[in-house]
Structure 1
Amino acid sequence: MLTNLTHRQLDAFRAVIETGQVTAAATALNTTQPSVSRMISDLERSVGFMLFERRGRQLVPTTEALALYEEVERSFVGLAEISRVAADIRDFRTGSLMIAGMPALALKFLPDVIAAFIRMEPGVSVSLRTRSSQAVLQHVSSQQFDLGFATLDADHPAVTRRPLYTAPMRAVLPLGHPLAEKTHLEPGDFHDQPFIALGAEIATRSETDVFFAARKARPRVVAEAQLSASICELVAAGAGLGIVEPVTAANFAAAGRVLSRPLHPEQPFQYDLLLPALREPSRLATRFLNLVERQFVELLGAQAL
């Protein structure tokens, strides 16, 4: 528990939250601007995390500051309880994450990361929404979600989009398929083979069509599906071959459901990280992203070689 908090520090903190400026807070408290700045700095040292980000003349509270402010507002809890909450926020014993993810990551990859995360941080709650990439973009643009995982070719003014991981698309084959003897598959290997394609509305479908057209290969499309997982299920059932993004291919191959082979020439696939543009990632979100990056390397690092 923190023991060096003072009422004056919390008064200054509350005033800056409500006015957005040190000058206005100083006026409200009938004190000087340097005094308020010093009390905020002292409070940040006491609680162990940053409380405000400066944007022009405005001070924007961090996610952690807003969590602390909720407790400060509940004045009946007393200074000792506020100190305890601040210590919990600092030490990751409380907090929450709102995450939206495309199905390719939200069906298994992200749940695996979340399970590891809550083992590390048992006081934290995580909410995961599985949505299309466009819907993930809209969720994050609302500023209500902390992290989004998608594949996009367009930006949104309220969202910061960053490349997260790029790896080649993979061919998936039924167990025991004759083509499994090959180290990689070329367009001609798919010619006249039963093939499960991505739906025509999926952007990656056009890239796969170009992959085949470049060598005048014509697979027999026996089924279409919107999700890579659905394609892998059809491949596992022996319906034909498929080409899917690398995470789903790796998960199904690791489970012994399908065989996975690289393509030549390669088809790069990029996973994007989406962040709300109006605030910086919280310390919890940053900690979670470290696990995400590690999971990508563990799952695809060897495969991408």
Structure 2
Amino acid sequence: MSVIDWLLEGDPAIRWQVMRDLLDADPDHVAAERSRVAREGWGERLLALQQPDGSWAGGAWFPAGSRDPGGDPIDGQPWTSTAHVLTLLVHMGVDPDATAVRSAASCAFDAVRWEEGDRPFLEGEDEACTLSTAILAGAYFGADMTAPAARLVADRRGDGGWNCEPREVSNRSSFPSTLIALEALAAQRRHAGALPLDASEAIDAAHEYLLARGLMRRRSTGEILDPAYQRLSFPTYWHYDVLRALDHLRDWGAEPDPRAGEAIELVRSRHTAAGPWPLENTHRGAVPFVMEDGDGRPSRWITLRALRVLRWWDDA
């Protein structure tokens, strides 16, 4: 069995993206396959987990009852709450115009409020990570995210990216915060057709922030900032790795930059003799359900993302 055939035996969320990104299939056939995401498999299961109050697991970022009196997670970061489920539905590419999907998103946006500040979901919180998550989901599912996107652009740091810490704590950017913000602004551009003033400059500076560091290194010393950045994961949640960064650059339509070459070769090197790429770094925390077989086992998500990134790079 070829790797493509193996991918096409997977969930509709995998199949439609393989058809679009690797096979250049007829757009009508791609749309028909995409429509199945809300009705079958992982997408259907996620939608079915929505609670009567409109939330997933009773919270925006944290499930109800998952934090101690001080506000810290009781047992790691759970990934079952509204923000994380909506983000996963975005990555699955569920059709935002499907009736059940539109209803689910609308109910969540109307009902769910953020833990810090008690703001409506679509307003986000003050820090960049939850604000970016709100923009990503809101833009994808058709909400007007112009004002939150402008707030995000205004929050960038002096070295070109973003940090989820307040300015008084750090005026330096971080890899994860910067990439989450870039993904949110990419969603705003794709689904709203417009970006706030100064957004293009901010995006260019953030891309430069990542590329100047080879997508994984300290600029000052050249050392790997975090070994986890080299381990490929999905779902990524708020975590960063080089494949996620490369997939954003591909999705944005950026020209391949030689400074990303080391990251490309790292991804290429993880290709197994059997063909698929393995999952390398499952992020700790409760999940709605397990999609793949665990670390070290072949991963359709990683394989799909790696193949389309390498196609973007090699075809340039």
Q: Into which bin does the TM-score normalised by the smaller protein fall?
A: under 0.3
TM-score (norm 2): 0.23
TM-score by length of 1: 0.24
Larger relative contact order (CA 8 Å, sep ≥ 6): 1
- Name the structure with the higher strand share: 1
